[in-house]
Amino acid sequence: MLTSGAYPLMDGRCQEYEALNAEQVEVSSETDLYIFQDDHYVWLCHTTPSAGMSWDDIELFSPNYANGLNLHASAQLGEWPLDEPAAQPKTSSSDLWWRVEGWWANTPGPNGMEEVNGRRQTKWMDITAREYQLSKDRFGRGEWMLRFHFHMADDGGGVIYPAAEKPLYALNAE
């Protein structure tokens, strides 16, 4: 655990994590997960198998959330209790989006406009990595149990880590 010095920059890139001696986990042959922490925060960064639109769902069980939370990142951020699926936003215009506290993740920025089926719509920047910063004060110090769902929108691909039939990933967030 780092107590002073350099920190990750929440820029949607994972390159600095190796220099910071972050823990590296091979999620799949195309996706790496980096975990870095200091006394106050945990940073997570994962690469994507290809550039494009993506979305993530992280199941997080921690000392402060024994029943678990879902942390969602796509073009929008959201969170909801795992045992309350009705709390999940149902539409992209729901007021439930952006009600997050004690964490943040990079989202794709707009990259101009494009015409699709005769209609102009926002063109989004491609995502090649996604970063999270999570507060130990919010989620609690101690053992965090996580399952990552990384999805690629363009080709429908993605990965679940650890796989559904395996135990959750244990992270010591002291």
Angle at 45 between CA 43 and CA 159, to 5 degrees: 130
Q: Is the preceding peptide bond at 89 cis, omega within 30 degrees of 0?
A: no
Helix (H, G, I), strand (E, B) or coil at 102: coil
- Contact between residue 61 and residue 143 where contact means Cβ atoms under 8 Å apart: no
The one-letter amino acid code at 58 reads I
Length of the chain: 174
Sequence spans of domains, the chain? 15-173
The one-letter amino acid code at 161 reads Y
Q: Please write the tens of the pLDDT for every residue from 49-87.
A: 776 778 899 999 999 999 999 999 998 999 999 999 899
Model confidence at 156, pLDDT cuts 50, 70, 90, reads low
**How far from the centroid of its chain's Cα atoms is residue 8's Cα?**
15
- CA end-to-end distance (rounded Å), the chain: 9
Q: Which residues contact 51 (CB under 8 A, 6 or more apart)?
A: 126, 127, 128
Q: Please write the tens of the pLDDT for every residue from 94-145.
A: 999 999 999 999 988 888 999 999 999 888 888 788 999 999 999 999 999 9
74 burial (CB, 10 Å; 0-12 / 13-18 / 19+) is buried
